[in-house]
Structures are given as structure tokens and as C-alpha cells.
């Protein structure tokens, strides 16, 4: 029998048939033969897994055809290195991508099952903190849909981002056991394993040709094992690969230790090694977690690069051409240690000379910067780096020395610039600047919004921009319309299909056709009916998740994102308190009924962010039990905000809160997801807000606050937040109420740190922007009462969101940075 007999397209159609009967049979077979369950005794969880395996079967044959085609064509491939991936629930998304939504529903109904109940059984993989991981998932979706050969590489955290519970108004972190019941979407590759070393020392010697060589003598090693998840494009056969790494002990059981009675020592190595990929550490990790985080980063990039070298060597091509086959995108600085690791693999392991290896490395990597906050520009203490990766520190020293020698020739006599460019930061505790390493070791650097990229060039990395004027470019972020419109907002998707067809799913500029309908009364009515359905769904979810009854007729004002001072949830809260005070002082005041919705997680060690969560819940407790606020004002905090929760929150929002201080948000993607669902944005000129406003039109965007230039000027002239408090009676009253114990059962000390922080330093200029924000909110309330105007604005927002598809972002990466061409896969 020839190997052609096993080409996936030739597998009998009963296993991968696309009609309802074949799918039904496949579900039953997986229930019995994979789950080992009788249909009469099967739970919803059992049926979910059986359905998931049935769907996966239909993806795997496409993944195999895709891999075979890429190999045959020697396709240039994107390797997307990200410490975080937040794919969200897989099942519904994959059913849509396969184009078998109705067939699956019919098959499930024939089995007497409820489709929605099965979807709810899926546990979301929490493999990231927020926007960074979700962006990586959006880009994987778009690369597959656009037929771009790609592999996503990351970490298979056993426990993901913590599960958030709210107890007495406080965030409480619980373990996210997302793998407790297995993961039907992944394929274990037990033979695909690589050794990863840590610690120890280096030794120098001369090889037979008299060349200096370095040998790393590590202190310990672990094994990285691959788990593959197929990522299918929408409406195409192309199915790319997400490969995540789990750590194992090199030797899981020490018989010598066991035989001498050291039972703990016999399994100690296994425990230590497997801890490496045990848990996702939040961004604001404590000092104790820094070593583990560095080890995690190195572990996954080492496994990934070794895998890439393995695949490449199968071609028989010399490693000096490695960069012709692969382009590696560094998703922020977390994978930047890949630069010295590739140098180590090329120079130490494969004996390339330094200059050749450096040419390969500098033409392999591209780097995306995702932050403007100085504390988020990753740095590692030199002593820690030395202990964990001694050989890599030597390579970084060599890279830095050669780079600075090059700089000295270019900027002769300007030695003051050298320290600003150096990869090594001097000071009481020397540090490795990972952003500098990423810039020096990459052929292209990009920001993620026009303002952000300009800020990188002028303020964050100006010395590098002066050195290499063409190196820093911009690719504005985008999000996938498949998940955030077609899947999560099906009422809207059906309405769009009736009026403008379905081409918008893969060409979001098609939404422009909605402009012609913006003033059509009949279409406006249908639009409001869609929004009403989505708000009712949001209200049902709020009742289940937070025990709060919401009014779908009220204006849904939503801020869901990571809790951080720069995102200014406390500015939103001050407005709520102000509105509450107005209503208490003047019960006859005519206001638009409002529901304020919050959601998001604070890093476990971030006291001020956790206090903001407590303040939101405390204010909500008072307002929601005040009979004077019934039908007028309500506040709810959604616990454990994630992709699954976002599916019902984004479409149900009327107002999208994007209120970070200008110059602090790199881009944001929540702003795009809200706007795609018809929510109107209240925001500052920050991140991608600027471009959203340009696209949708200034008349359809609620702008407030200082510009980035005005923020800088205010800081330079000396910012005195107490002056704003004293000069604004409503602001003073709101702060006084928060500090008095009114919202804390009479305890004036509880929120004192939050109030004092605002009055004494206010690093994110909450008080300076307060008046502009509150007045803008008043305009929103007035505008909402004119439903014809509001609906028109909502329609135009959606109509003009084409730019913010992740497909557009990936086309720009592929054409301008990666130089990668699409490869079509023939089905069967």
C-alpha cells in the first residue's frame, strides 16, 4: 500500500463527512470509542467532548494537507512567538470556520441535545493576561484566513490567568484549572521534545581549526514537549498550527535517591521541572517570580527555535539561509531572549562564524512593541540573568560591544548617546534592557497605532530612530471579525447578511455599504431591535454572573479591560458618584437611565488596582440598594472577565469607555470590538482611539480630555491635583464622599489611599480630565434620548470599522515586514 492511501483527502467520508448524518455518527463514535461512555449515561460534558473531537477530525485532515503543501512549496513561514495566547472557546469558532453551523445544529438536535448547552460546557484556555494574548489569537486567525503559512509558538500553562471571584467587593484569585477535564483540541507530540538548559558556567576551548569555541556546562536541564492545536482559516482549507510547550523532567524518577530512602528527592527533579510551565505569572509579578518568568521565556523560545532548526535542516539547505525560510515575529519583549538563543544555536551548536550567524539573526527577527509605560519595558537584573543564562549573557555582551563600536563610528564624539543605546543599563543594579536587545537584533520594529509608533520614534526609542530612521514603522492593531462579529454578535450578523451579503466576514471594508442605510427608518428600527436583543442577553448574563438585574432599556455604559490606574476606571467611578450626588440632591433631575458595567482583573500584587475594584463594588452596593436610583442608575461588576464573557458584553454595550490618559495606551483592541458591535466611544486622543475617530468621523465619537502634548506641558509646568479639586465643587464632593466612609459602611480609612493618591500625585491626571469627562458624559445622555440620531451614529460606527480588522493588520505585516506570500491549499 502506498503512502498516498493515507492522504487525508482520501480518508473515508464517514469519518470527516460534512452533512448532518455523518457528523451525528462521528459524535456517537467519539462518545463510545474516545470517551468510553454510553449515550444513556453521558453528561453534557461527555457530549461536548464527543462533538469537539468530531469537529477536530474535520480540521486535522486539513491541517495535514496544509503542512504537506507548505513543505512541498518550501513556503516562507511566519513564526509568531508570544508568551501569551488567549484563543477563547474553540468549538463554535471552528464550526463557523468549517462552514457547518447548521449541519452541526441538526446533528445535535437529532441526538436530543441542546446546542447552546454544549457550547457552554467548554472551558476557556486562560493562556494570557489580556490584550496581548488576545491579539496573538486574532492574528493566528487572520494568518490562516489569508493563507499565510504560520506557526504560533507559546507556553502550555497548566494553570492559566487566575480565575477572579469577588468576595465582599474584593478581588480574590482562584486557580484556573482549565485542563481539569482534558483539552480535546490539542494533540500531544510525545516524540517532539527538546532539551533546555539553565544555570551553570561556560568553558572556552579551541577547535581543531584553532577557532575559539564556548561550551555551556549547565546546572540543570528540562525537556520541552509539544502540544499542537489546529488553527483554521475561515472559508479556506488552510489550517495553521499553534504549538505550545510543556516542561518535563529530564529524569522523572531518581532510583538511587529512592533506594537510599530519600523518597522526596526521588521525585524532586520532576516537580521542579514541571513547575516551569505550571502557571502564568501576571505582568506585575513580585520579585520572587522574576526568575521563574525569565526561565519560562527562555524555555519556550529555546524549544521553538530548536524546532524551527529541526524543520529547516530537513530541507538540506545551509543554515546560513535560515532567514529565507523563516521570519520570526516577537510579540513584545517577552520572547526577545530568542535573539541570543538563535546566536547560540548557530555559533555554538552548528559552528557558524559570528558574522554569518549575526546576519542570519538580524534578518530573522521582527519586533512588535506594545507599551509606552516605562515600567513595562522589560529589564532583567544582570546578576539574575547571569545565574539563569550565563552563556546568553556572554552573547549579549558581545552583541552589545559590536553594536556600540558601530555606533561610535556613526556618531563620532557623542559618547553621551552610547549609554542611552546600550543593551546594558548601568546603575546600582545593572540590567539587561530587553527592548534594546529586540531593536538591535531585529530587522524591523513596529508600534501598534499611529500615535504609539510616533511616540516610539520621538520619545521611547529616539536614539535608535536617529541611528536607523527607517527601522521603526507602524502596524495598527486589528481584531478578527469572525469572532467579534460573526460569532459573538449573531443577531447583527444576520441583519448584515440580509442587507449587504456576507463578504464583509473576510473583507470588512464591505461594511461601508451600510452608510446608505444609516438614515433609513425601517433599517434603523431593525438595528435597534438587534441591539435590544443583545442587551437582553447581557442582562441575563449579569443576573447569572453577578446576581444583578439590569434594565435593557437603559443606556449600557461599559468599561471592561485590565484594571490599571492608567486605564482610569476610577475616573469612570468619580462620574458615577457625581451622577449619584446630582440625583440625590435633585430627585426631579431629568437624566437618561444608565447602567454602568465594569469588568477586568487586577494583577494580584497591584494594591491600587485591587482597591479600585473594591471601590467600584462598594459604590455599586450603595447605589443598587438605594430605592431613589431604581430605574435611573445601576452599577455592576462582572467577575472573571474573559473572551467567553466578552461574547455577550461587547454586543450589548451602548457606550464604550476608552478613557486612558493620552500617551499611555499603545493601541487598545477593546475599542475596536465595542465599535464593531455598534457601541459609541467616549475616549481620549490615545492609542487607536485617534484612528477610530478619524475613520468613523468626529461627529460619531465622544471626545474629551487633554491631548498628549497638553499632558506633557501640564507635567512640565508642575501639576497640582488639589487645585482641580478645590476649583470644582462636584469633584470635591465626589472625593469627599469616597473618603468619608459613605460607600464603605462608615469606614473612612478604606478608600483613603485611593483618594490621597489622586490628591497628592495623581500620576494619570484623573482630576485634570474630570470636568471634561463629566461634561462629555452629559452630552452622551442627551444624545441617547434622540434615538434616531443615536442609531444613525451607531450604524456609521460599524460601517466605518473596516480598517480595524486583523486581516488588514496581517496584510500589512505580510507585505511590508515579513515579505510572505499566501499559499492556497487544495481541499482533498
Residues labelled catalytic = 370, 561-562, 567, 669, 673
Rounded to an integer, what distance in angstroms lies between the CA atom of residue 678 and that of residue 801? 10
CB-count exposure of residue 824 (10 Å: 0-12, 13-18, 19+): exposed
Using DSSP's 3-state secondary structure scheme, residue 435 falls into helix
Rounded to an integer, what distance in angstroms lies between the CA atom of residue 689 and that of residue 705? 13
* Strand-pair partners of 227: 188, 244
Q: Check residue 279 and report its DSSP letter.
A: B
51: nearest Cα among 7, 106, 8, 1: 106
718: region left, alpha or beta (phi > 0 left; psi from -120 to 50 alpha): left
221: nearest Cα among 277, 289, 258, 272: 272
E-strand ranges in 46-148 read 77-81
Rounded to an integer, what distance in angstroms lies between the CA atom of residue 336 and that of residue 395? 13
Q: How far is CA 187 from CA 9, 81, 93, 204, in A?
A: 20, 19, 18, 41
Q: Check residue 565 and report its DSSP letter.
A: G
Q: Check residue 813 and report its DSSP letter.
A: I
Instruction: List the helix and strand counts (H, then E) for the chain.
Output: 34, 22
Rounded to an integer, what distance in angstroms lies between the CA atom of residue 465 and that of residue 462? 5
β-strands 77-81, 326-331: how paired? parallel
Cell numbers 452629559: residue: 778
Rounded to an integer, what distance in angstroms lies between the CA atom of residue 50 and that of residue 118? 10
Residues 186/228, Cβ–Cβ less than 8 Å:
yes
* Strand-pair partners of 230: 241
Amino acid at each position: 500500500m502506498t503512502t498516498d492511501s493515507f492522504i487525508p483527502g482520501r480518508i473515508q467520508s464517514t469519518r470527516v463527512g460534512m452533512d448532518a448524518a455523518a457528523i451525528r455518527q462521528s459524535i456517537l463514535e467519539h462518545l463510545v470509542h474516545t470517551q468510553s461512555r454510553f449515550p444513556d449515561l453521558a453528561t453534557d460534558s461527555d457530549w461536548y467532548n464527543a462533538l469537539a473531537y468530531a469537529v477536530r477530525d474535520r480540521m486535522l485532515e486539513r491541517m495535514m494537507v496544509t503542512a504537506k503543501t507548505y513543505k512541498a512549496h518550501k513556503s516562507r513561514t511566519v513564526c509568531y512567538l508570544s508568551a501569551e495566547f488567549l484563543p477563547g472557546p474553540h468549538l463554535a469558532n471552528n464550526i463557523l470556520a468549517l462552514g457547518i453551523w447548521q449541519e452541526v445544529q441538526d446533528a445535535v438536535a437529532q441526538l436530543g441535545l441542546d446546542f447552546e448547552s454544549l457550547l457552554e460546557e467548554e472551558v476557556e484556555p486562560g493562556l494570557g493576561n489580556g490584550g496581548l494574548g488576545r491579539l496573538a489569537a486574532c492574528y493566528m486567525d487572520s494568518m490562516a484566513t489569508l493563507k499565510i503559512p504560520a506557526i504560533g509558538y507559546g507556553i502550555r500553562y497548566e494553570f492559566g490567568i487566575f480565575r477572579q471571584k469577588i468576595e465582599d467587593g474584593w478581588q480574590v484569585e482562584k486557580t484556573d484549572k482549565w485542563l481539569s477535564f482534558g483539552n480535546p483540541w490539542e494533540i500531544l507530540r510525545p516524540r517532539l521534545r527538546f532539551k533546555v538548559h539553565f544555570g551553570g558556567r561556560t568553558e572556552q576551548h579551541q577547535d581543531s581549526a584553532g577557532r575559539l569555541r564556548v561550551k555551556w556546562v549547565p546546572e540543570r536541564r528540562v525537556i520541552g514537549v509539544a502540544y499542537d492545536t489546529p488553527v483554521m482559516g475561515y472559508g479556506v482549507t488552510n489550517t495553521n498550527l499553534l504549538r505550545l510547550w510543556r516542561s518535563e523532567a529530564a529524569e522523572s524518577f531518581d532510583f538511587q535517591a529512592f533506594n537510599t530512602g530519600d523518597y522526596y528527592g526521588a521525585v524532586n527533579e520532576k516537580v521542579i521541572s514541571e513547575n516551569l510551565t505550571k502557571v502564568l505569572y501576571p505582568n506585575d509579578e513580585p520579585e520572587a517570580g522574576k526568575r521563574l518568568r525569565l526561565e519560562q521565556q527562555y524555555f519556550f523560545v529555546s524549544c521553538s527555535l530548536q524546532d524551527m532548526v529541526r524543520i529547516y535542516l530537513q530541507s538540506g539547505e545551509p543554515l546560513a539561509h535560515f532567514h529565507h525560510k523563516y521570519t520570526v515575529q516577537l510579540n513584545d519583549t517577552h520572547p526577545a531572549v530568542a535573539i541570543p538563543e538563535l546566536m547560540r544555536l548557530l555559533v555554538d551548536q552548528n559552528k557558524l562564524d559570528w558574522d554569518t550567524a549575526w546576519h542570519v539573526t538580524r534578518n530573522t527577527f521582527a519586533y512588535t512593541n506594545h507599551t509606552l509605560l516605562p515600567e513595562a519595558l522589560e529589564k532583567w537584573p544582570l546578576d539574575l540573568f547571569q545565574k539563569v543564562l550565563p552563556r546568553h549573557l556572554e552573547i549579549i555582551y558581545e552583541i552589545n560591544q559590536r553594536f556600540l563600536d558601530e555606533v561610535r563610528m556613526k556618531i563620532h564624539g557623542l559618547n553621551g548617546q552610547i549609554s542611552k543605546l546600550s543593551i546594558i543599563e548601568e546603575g546600582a543594579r545593572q540590567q539587561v534592557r530587553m527592548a534594546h536587545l529586540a531593536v538591535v537584533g531585529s530587522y524591523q520594529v513596529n508600534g501598534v497605532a499611529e500615535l504609539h509608533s510616533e511616540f516610539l520614534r520621538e520619545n521611547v526609542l529616539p536614539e535608535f530612530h536617529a541611528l536607523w530612521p527607517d527601522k521603526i514603522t507602524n502596524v495598527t492593531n486589528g481584531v478578527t471579525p469572525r469572532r467579534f462579529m460573526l460569532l459573538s454578535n449573531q443577531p447583527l450578523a444576520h441583519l448584515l447578511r440580509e442587507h449587504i451579503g456576507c463578504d464583509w466576514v473576510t473583507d470588512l471594508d464591505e461594511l461601508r455599504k451600510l452608510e446608505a442605510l444609516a438614515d433609513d427608518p425601517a433599517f434603523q428600527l431593525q438595528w435597534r431591535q438587534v441591539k435590544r436583543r443583545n442587551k437582553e442577553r447581557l442582562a441575563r448574563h449579569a443576573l447569572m454572573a453577578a446576581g444583578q438585574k439590569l434594565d435593557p432599556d437603559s443606556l449600557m455604559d461599559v468599561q471592561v479591560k485590565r484594571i490599571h490606574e492608567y486605564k482610569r476606571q476610577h475616573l469612570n467611578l468619580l462620574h458615577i458618584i457625581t451622577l449619584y450626588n446630582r440625583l440625590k440632591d435633585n430627585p426631579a433631575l431629568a437624566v437618561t437611565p444608565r447602567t454602568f458595567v465594569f469588568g477586568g482583573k487586577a494583577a494580584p500584587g497591584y494594591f491600587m488596582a485591587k482597591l479600585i475594584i473594591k471601590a467600584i463594588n462598594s459604590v455599586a452596593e450603595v447605589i443598587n440598594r438605594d430605592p431613589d436610583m431604581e430605574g435611573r442608575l445601576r452599577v455592576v461588576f462582572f467577575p472573571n472577565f474573559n473572551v467567553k464573557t466578552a461574547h455577550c458584553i461587547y454586543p450589548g454595550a451602548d457606550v464604550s469607555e476608552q478613557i486612558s490618559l493620552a500617551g499611555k495606551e499603545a493601541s487598545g483592541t477593546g475599542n475596536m470590538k465595542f465599535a464593531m458591535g455598534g457601541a459609541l466611544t467616549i475616549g481620549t486622543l490615545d492609542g487607536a482611539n485617534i484612528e477610530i475617530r478619524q475613520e468613523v468621523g468626529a461627529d460619531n465619537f465622544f471626545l474629551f480630555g487633554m491631548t498628549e502634548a497638553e499632558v506633557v506641558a501640564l507635567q512640565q509646568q508642575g501639576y497640582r491635583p488639589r487645585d482641580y479639586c478645590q476649583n470644582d465643587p462636584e469633584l470635591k464632593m465626589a472625593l469627599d464622599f469616597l473618603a468619608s466612609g459613605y460607600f464603605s459602611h462608615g469606614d473612612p480609612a478604606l478608600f483613603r489611599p485611593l483618594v490621597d493618591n489622586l490628591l497628592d500625585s495623581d500620576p494619570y491626571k484623573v482630576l485634570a480630565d474630570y470636568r471634561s469627562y463629566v461634561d462629555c458624559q452629559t452630552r452622551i445622555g442627551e444624545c441617547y434620548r434622540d434615538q434616531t440620531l443615536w442609531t444613525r451614529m451607531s450604524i456609521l460606527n460599524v460601517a466605518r470599522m473596516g480598517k480595524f480588522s486583523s486581516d488588514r493588520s496581517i496584510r500589512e505585516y505580510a507585505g511590508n515586514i515579513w515579505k510572505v506570500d499566501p499559499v492556497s491549499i487544495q481541499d482533498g
